[in-house]
Structure 1
Amino acid sequence: MSSNDPNSTPSNDRTLPLVAHCADPFLELTTVWLYDQVRSLRRYRSMVLTQAVRNAHLFPFDAIHDLSKVNPIQRVWHRVGRRIDGQHRGYGSVMRQEGAVVAHAHYGHEGFRCLSAAADAGIPLVTTFYGFDAGSLPRDPVWRRRLEILFDRGDLFLAEGPAMAGRIERLGCSADRLRVQPLGIDLRNFTEVSLNQRQNQVLMYASFREKKGHLFGVRAFARAFGDDGKMSLELVGDGPLRPDVEAEVSRLGIEGRTRFHGALPHVEAIRKLESCRLLLYPSVTASDGDTEGGAPVALLEAMACGTPIVSTRHADIPFVAPNGVCSLLSEELDVDGLADAMRAVVTEDGLASRLAAAGRAQVERQHDLDKQVSALESIYDEVKRK
């Protein structure tokens, strides 16, 4: 299935059991992986419940219930009710009317907000954690208590990898209701491009947020290739810290070899991954505790393209892209380590090819969308039987 083919899913087959996906908003540009998950079920069909629909032209999906599109009185009641107890109004009745058999909340805060709805509909609630919901969010005492309630009342919890699962367990989730469910990507959307056909470019492909480590990345690039006029740095993404990164690029004197492309459509971003020499992803733990949680999906996409990765030992990155096998990893904040790794990928005979081949094999084995959808449907089977 291509992410550009909304008709490649059996979601309109009403003989299949229905999963109510709760995602707010649906969807941001950077959450293609969530769209793939929702639209790719085979033995189940999907509907989406949300408070806001965004980028619908990029993520076409028919079975969306936008609960902001109610009459003004209901909208006020929904908003007031959510302020009182944090729960979404209206979701439970939609779940009942449509005959949902499982509710799947995406992100921990959405899981809490859907507790009453799932109970009202009499169906189990599965909650997937993705990052900030297990990192910075629990630092808020109100949300820490809400997550404790979620762990007590929710039925099953999913994490992208073992590091994320450990963090969720430390927050109070029972280990017997916690599963590791790696993200999947549609490998048919990616082309392995020979490294000898690549341009002399280092790519950073991430939103400009503290946990993405852009400042350390541009410093590492300058240290690795400051005297090498052939190498350029390409930055794809946007966000609140972009002005800081632009200022650092200027301070380092590498603005002539650095290009800021802004946020690109997913297809164009993938073309950048296919044409660069390596992906630089220097993730760090942000000052507010925010982390990648699992691992950036860009790493999966890079491996699918056969693009070598230089990154950090952060969250589940070592699980997704093992050091020395599929990537070269440094400690967080280690500019010298990142610079040395980039130089090695570019200059050491055979290293880039070995990393590329191992990365493609890893993503085929552990992150193929079809395999992960099958595993997710088995999880739905499990909670339905309880």
Structure 2
Amino acid sequence: MRIAFIVTEFPLLSETFILNQITGLLDRGHQVDIYADKRGNINNVHPAVEKYNLLAKTYYLPDIPDNLFYRFIKGLRLGLKLSFQNPQLTLQALNVFKYGNQAISLWLLYTAIPNLDKVYDIIHCQFGHLAFRGMAFRQMNAPSAKLITIFRGYDISTFVKRKGLNIYDELFKQGDFFLANCEFFREKAINLGCHENLIRVHFSGLDCQRFIFKPRYPSPDGIIRIATTGRLVEKKGIEYSIRAIAQQAKINPNLEYNLIGDGELKEELQNLIHNLGIENIVNLLGWKNEREIVEILDKSHLFIAPSVTAKDGNQDAPINVLKEAMAMGLPVISTYHGGIPELVENGVSGFLVPERDVEALAEKLNYLIQNPQQWCEMGKAGRAYVEKYYDLDMLNDKLVQVYQQILNSNLANRDLKSDLVTLSN
């Protein structure tokens, strides 16, 4: 199969879930090209980018300014250049009678590729908000391709809150099939108008072989090592885990809390740690690569992921950092948030507490500190669950099956319920 991935930025270290799909498809003998709105940091890339020579498969689409005046001015220059290269494509991109607002807004003009010598079977938009570019890409460059969109979090929470409940109406009409990375977001998409038989859950996978399981027992030095991995932003809820650690430090002084990640709240969290008087316990370690993260988790006993719904509505799916910790045998504490309850079995592989509930976080943390005999069984349960539902190879095989079924089904006829139900199950 010939597949075009529509992404926001490439390469981007934080989006290994997209990289895993690309390399998985390439390993299975399929052609994958990447179309990005923005160029990432090519001096700091995941090893797979170089191994698979992905930059040679990456193409950068012109940025579409939000400001309409600048969009028009830039569009004039783009249109003149395009008219010399492919006059017919230029006229098509500006055909307001056929394409309406897509032409008026210049989305088609900004997405037209004059000398594209590639044919695609699948156009896969890696977030819902990228599907507008995906629809334009298909109209201009690959009209026979099937359009697939996956919803991952921001696109079905914050973006919808900003743009309105009808933002995806046209996509739900034009798109051939949809994916969501958890049931929580699938239900959100259905409530927005997506046909329930045109969307299925497709988890973000994890290469479990890269995260070695180890039973957890107390250390001889008596220190309980706790870890959190995540960007220092509001929806990760790290303020609340820091406060819970501060509570526990009063009764369990032998704690070490390692925070892996960086972000806009770093200074604010540093001040909080100072004001709580736990600078000797909490370590802001900054950004680490995968090998360094594994080394830190390997020495840890417990893992906390205190995710919360941000003020702008942003929510998480079952986050990869939790999968990594569970795969390595760490009992986890997280929250009833977004798709996380689909990953963490409360009382089995760890505990779930309400969002922003410091007392509940501290209580579950204290329980695990006081009951280390529970760690091993919880760790085994977490590893087993991740292997069963989030194995990367299994999920990449399923993605190929989805593509093949879509290509083999006449999804243009929405009355073919038997085909659609087979796909959505």
Report the TM-score range of the alignment, normalised by the length of the smaller protein: 0.7 to 0.9
**2:169 maps to 1:148:** yes
Gap change, CA 1:74 and 1:210, over 3 Å in 2? same
Counterpart in 2 of 1:319?
342
Matches within 5 A, 1:365-384: 365-384=388-407
Gap change, CA 1:328 and 1:104, over 3 Å in 2? same
Distance 1:237 1:152 in 2: 40
For the pair shown, the structure with the greater C-alpha radius of gyration is 2
TM-score by length of 1: 0.87
**2:202 maps to 1:178:** no
The residue identity in structure 1 corresponding to 2:31 is R
The residue identity in structure 1 corresponding to 2:176 is D
The residue identity in structure 2 corresponding to 1:252 is L
**2:2 maps to 1:18:** yes
Matches within 5 A, 1:207-286: 207-286=231-310
Distance 1:68 1:367 in 2: 35
Counterpart in 2 of 1:66?
60
Q: Is the 8 A contact 1:158 1:181 kept in 2?
A: yes
The residue identity in structure 1 corresponding to 2:203 is P
Distance 1:192 1:108 in 2: 34
Distance 1:51 1:95 in 2: 18
Counterpart in 2 of 1:132?
154
Moved more, 205-214 or 224-233: 224-233
The residue identity in structure 1 corresponding to 2:124 is H
- Structure 2 unpaired stretches of 5+: 64-72, 80-92, 95-101, 411-425
Per the TM alignment, residue 274 of structure 1 is displaced from its structure 2 partner at its CA by: 2.1
Per the TM alignment, residue 248 of structure 1 is displaced from its structure 2 partner at its CA by: 1.3
The residue identity in structure 1 corresponding to 2:215 is S
Counterpart in 2 of 1:46?
32
Matches within 5 A, 1:281-360: 281-292=305-316, 294-360=317-383
Gap change, CA 1:77 and 1:92, over 3 Å in 2? closer
Per the TM alignment, residue 229 of structure 1 is displaced from its structure 2 partner at its CA by: 2.7
Q: Secondary structure in 2 aligned to 1:40? A: helix
Counterpart in 2 of 1:203?
227
2:18 to 31, 34, 37: 34
Per the TM alignment, residue 28 of structure 1 is displaced from its structure 2 partner at its CA by: 2.6
Q: Deviations over 1:301-351 (max 9, x none)?
A: 111111111000111111111111222110111111111111222221421
- Structure 1 unpaired stretches of 5+: 1-16
Pairwise CA RMSD: 2.6
Distance 2:188 2:227 in 1: 30
Q: Identity, % of aligned pairs?
A: 26
Q: Deviations over 1:132-176 (max 9, x none)?
A: 1111111223x6443222122111111111111111111221111
Q: Secondary structure in 1 aligned to 2:167? A: helix
Q: Deviations over 1:176-196 (max 9, x none)?
A: 111101111111211113313
Q: Is the 8 A contact 2:226 2:255 kept in 1?
A: yes
Gap change, CA 1:321 and 1:113, over 3 Å in 2? same
Gap change, CA 1:133 and 1:347, over 3 Å in 2? same
Distance 2:274 2:402 in 1: 50
Counting matched residue pairs gives 365
Distance 2:106 2:192 in 1: 19
Gap change, CA 1:328 and 1:47, over 3 Å in 2? same
Q: Secondary structure in 1 aligned to 2:11? A: coil
Gap change, CA 1:194 and 1:354, over 3 Å in 2? closer
Distance 2:218 2:117 in 1: 54
Distance 2:270 2:394 in 1: 40
Counterpart in 1 of 2:117?
97
Q: Secondary structure in 2 aligned to 1:51? A: strand
Q: Deviations over 1:69-118 (max 9, x none)?
A: 9xx9889538x999963736565648962221100011111112210212
